[in-house]
Amino acid sequence: MIIKFLKPMPPYATGELANVSEMQAHRLIKLGVAEVFKQDIKEEVTEEVVEDTKQVIAQKDKMVRKAKEEK
């Protein structure tokens, strides 16, 4: 479970993220030291990545299809 520290707790500083076991996460949350980290993936970013990927694939295909052999 990924948690975000609300208070410093060595070796972690405030705001740092950590991947810990569920039992340890619940203990730290109960102590008020951390909270569950939930990352919102924005649709715009996802669409931008998909478009970039399509462009890279198209460029690769173009290079392969128009490749000329040296004689």
The C-alpha atoms of residue 34 and residue 12 are separated, in whole angstroms, by: 11
Comparing 22 with 63, the larger pLDDT belongs to: 22
CATH 3.40.5 at 2-65, yes or no: yes
| b/e 28-49 (16+ beta carbons within 10 angstroms → b) | beeeebbeeeeeeeeeeeeeee
As a whole-number percent, the residues of the chain with pLDDT over 90 amount to 51
Per-domain boundaries in the chain = 2-65
Average pLDDT taken over every residue of the chain:
78
The string of pLDDT tens digits covering residues 40-55 is: 655 555 666 667 666 6
Q: Is the pLDDT confidence value at 4 over 70? A: yes
**pTM (2 d.p.):** 0.54
Comparing 46 with 27, the larger pLDDT belongs to: 27
